[in-house]
A and B are shown apart, each in its own frame.
Chain A
Amino acid sequence: DSGVTQTPKHLITATGQRVTLRCSPRSGDLSVYWYQQSLDQGLQFLIQYYNGEERAKGNILERFSAQQFPDLHSELNLSSLELGDSALYFCASSVEPTLHTDTQYFGPGTRLTVL
């Protein structure tokens, strides 16, 4: 158990719908990262937040958005869903992302299926 929690574990929805994925980082971690992993694919970095502020953006679609709240939990919002958005979405957290020795701790992921 990494200490990072993600809800829900599974989500099945239809095309065109909107969903919200939630992540709670490890206690004490200030940074949250979101990754997308499609079937048999690598980890595609979406976005990073640090202490409530957006820190870095990866290949995140305009239909997707995220935020980190004062209690440091984060939500990833996916809208106008398409079949191709079906994937595993991982959240990871770390203590201090500016330290080169910083490591990331991943949550169990949310499996999104768009029908």
Chain B
Amino acid sequence: GQQVMQIPQYQHVQEGEDFTTYCNSSTTLSNIQWYKQRPGGHPVFLIQLVKSGEVKKQKRLTFQFGEAKKNSSLHITATQTTDVGTYFCAGWGIQGAQKLVFGQGTRLTINP
């Protein structure tokens, strides 16, 4: 069954609005990775978070790893049309398994 839950499944915003997607695991993760898939494209690695409470920024994107290392979020400030796509989180080490498990993704659409 699904071991990494990602919400929401879909999100539509007006250009300039903020956007957040959340990733939750029932077990502690070794790390969390985020990928972006543009429409018609393939998933591309964005970033990896390893430490408890870690926060990383990439321009308008802010990634957080929870203190308990069970959840993560991706926040985009002032969305632009180039942000359109599906954002996947992927957790490493679920239930001790040495593998990456992908969430179902959040599909972001933007009204220009």
Binding site for B on A (CB under 8 A): 2, 40-43, 45, 48, 56, 90, 92, 97-98, 100-109
On whether the beta carbons of B45 and A104 are closer than 8 Å, the reply is yes
Does chain A have a CB within 8 A of B102?
Answer: yes
Contacts of A2 in B (CB 8 A): 42, 44
> In the complex, what's the smallest C-beta–C-beta distance from A15 to chain B, in angstroms?
26
| B: contact size bracket | 20 to 34
Point out the residue from A40, A48, A90, A97 that lies within 8 Å of B42, measured CB to CB.
A90
Complex CA–CA separation, A109 to B102 (angstroms): 17
Point out the residue from A43, A97, A107, A108 that lies within 8 Å of B88, measured CB to CB.
A43
On whether the beta carbons of A100 and B42 are closer than 8 Å, the reply is no
> In the complex, what's the smallest C-beta–C-beta distance from B109 to chain A, in angstroms?
11
On whether the beta carbons of A43 and B102 are closer than 8 Å, the reply is yes
Contacts of B107 in A (CB 8 A): 40
On whether the beta carbons of B30 and A42 are closer than 8 Å, the reply is no
Which one of B15-23, B53-61, B77-85, B91-99 contacts A? B91-99
Does chain A have a CB within 8 A of B66?
Answer: no
